[in-house]
Chains A and B, each alone.
Chain A
Amino acid sequence: MGTLVEEILSRRVGRPVHAGDTVVAEVDAVMAHDVTGPLAIDAFRSLEMPIWNASRTVFSFDHVFPSNSVAASELHRRIREFAAEFGIRNLFAEGICHLVMVERGFIRPGGVVVGADSHSTTYGALGCFATGMGSTDIGVTMATGRSWFRVPETLRIEVTGKLARGVQAKDLALSVIHQLGAEGANYLAVEWGGPTVSAMGLSERLTLSNLSVDFGAKCGLCEVDAKTWEYLHLPDGGDLRPSQASYAEVLRVDVSDLEPQVSAPPAIENVRPLSELAGTRLDEVFIGSCANGRIEDMAIVAGMLEGRQVSPTTRTIIIPGTRTAYVQALERGYIDTFVRAGAVVMAAGCGPCLGRQHGTLGPGERALSTSMRNYPGRMGSPDAEIYLANPAVAAASALAGVIADPREEN
């Protein structure tokens, strides 16, 4: 009974809980990556406690993998030594942590997962209460298997209408962020629902849940249906929906007339219709990230780059989010298409999204990215500009060398 987050946390603690209550709850899994992991290990060691459960503790090498510096290698070495010492075998270097967590079966509908990365909200698409935390919280959970949560009030986003060709979940999320602002859902659970979300595939729902944190949400949940179980390759465990829920706010969105959206610098809520920004010269296009680095995103891009050449004045970087997506892209010929089109294809991981390795922007440069953050300095120089958009817009823009409309491609 209640909102999705109330339902999930009530089941977990074995009694009805409501928005405003604070609970200490067990988690199903705890995750840190190569940059937040070492601080979590420091917190864990300070506790002088045994590890809670090595088989549910996950480290992902993705933010700076393969290492590009002695400093990064040192962080990796500390994580490997810690894992060896405590018998942790879930040490993955096969792509972006949030996508790997889903692929590797750590996420279950109705579950509770915490991660030392803000985009841990991504798992909400699978009906899992998941939230990002700092390293200290994660180190404490590695020792105790628990964390404390204030049960959040819920913002229900009820979506109707059919998305037009070239318009995707990313555009819906950006338009909502434009409407509500970058802290419009601060401390709230966001519940994405309505016929449009039900009609979406899981890849698109994952994009919605991923971007939920970028307007402040504690979690971004979608209802569980047959498609959810199918995506996880699990027997259908039944639907999970809110019932008799009391919402802090309900936002109704009709996407029928939505056009592709572009978030312009210097802040994510600075969202404009694509048509207003078309023609803006670009130095770089990045296609990938935990927002839009899945095989479905690669398929859209491959379909547009097939037999074409990207602009010689724009460097185009494409990164399938995980090794699995990379292999699928290989098998389907997408990688062949990308490379022949003149794009640079890099190893699965976070890539240029956070400016730490390859594709780093110089002062005055301008990039369009399918990632989710355009704070000054995010992808390199604080004097560079970052535009955010969906993969189809990114592919059209890579071909044109300027921000371009995919609906004008054949």
Chain B
Amino acid sequence: MARVFRFGDGISTDAIMPGRYNLTTDPDALAKACFIENRPDFHETVRTGDVIVAGNNFGCGSSREHAPLSIKASGVSAVVARSFARIFYRNAVNLGLPVIRCADLYDAVQDGDEVVVDIDQGTIVANGRTFQGEAPSAVARRISEAGSLVELIKNHGWAAIEEVV
């Protein structure tokens, strides 16, 4: 079972990865700094497969990809938020970090609750209820299926995106 790490509204990329900690591209070093000031025990307590649940505008602010990279490198299996900032959402999809928009889950779970996330279906089971996330766009789905934007473009070129739009 995955455990929920619950965050509020407007969690910025500065909160996920402060600008004083992203002078590296090493995923392990970034994982150690993930939420280092917003939630200092995050790195010590998060386990592979755990899920971040957040409110509105998750990942707002800087385009720094170190933020979703640090979450992915922490072992988080999915981020489920009421809404995402545009650049963060796109970065997460590009990196293969599952992101699900879901309006109702946020108010139905608390920190530490256990949940089951079905990435392919976009569903989350929590406290005996099943929540349906929004379906991703055709492009986002195509990138996710390839694993990452780099894998998609490397193996199929832009035609892979042009044929789904």
List A residues at the B interface (Cβ < 8 Å): 21-24, 35-36, 38-39, 42-43, 46-49, 63-64, 69, 71-72, 75, 116-118, 132-137, 139-140, 143-144, 146, 148, 150, 182-183, 186-187, 214, 216, 218, 267, 354-356, 360, 373, 375-378, 380, 382
Contacts and interface: CB of A to CB of B under 8 A. Distances in A.
Contacts of B20: 355-356, 360, 380
A22 B68 CA distance: 24
Contact of B153 (A47, A63, A182): A47
A133 B139 CA distance: 16
Contacts of B49: none
Contacts of A182: 10, 57, 60
A58 to B, nearest CB: 15
A144 B66 CA distance: 23
Interface stretch (B87-95, B102-110, B111-119, B125-133): B87-95
A150 B14 contact: no
B23 A355 contact: no
Given A47-B150, A48-B154, A373-B14, A35 B85 contact: no
B86 interface: yes
B150 A148 contact: no
Contacts of B10: 182, 267
**The 3 A-B residue pairs with the shortest CB-CB distance in the complex, in nearest-first order:** A134-B91, A134-B65, A22-B165
A183 B149 contact: no
Interface of B: 10, 12, 14-15, 18-20, 22-25, 37-38, 56-57, 60-66, 68-69, 83, 85-87, 90-91, 94-95, 137-139, 148-150, 153-154, 157-158, 161-162, 165
B139 to A, nearest CB: 6
Nearest to B155: A47
Contacts of B25: 38-39, 42, 75
A230 B61 CA distance: 32
B109 to A, nearest CB: 22
A75 B22 CA distance: 11
Contact of A354 (B62, B65, B69): B62
Given A132-B87, A382-B18, 9 more contacts: A35-B23, A36-B64, A46-B150, A133-B90, A136-B94, A146-B158, A148-B158, A355-B18, A377-B14
A376 to B, nearest CB: 7
B15 to A, nearest CB: 6
Contact of B57 (A135, A216, A377): A216
A19 to B, nearest CB: 14
A148 B57 contact: no
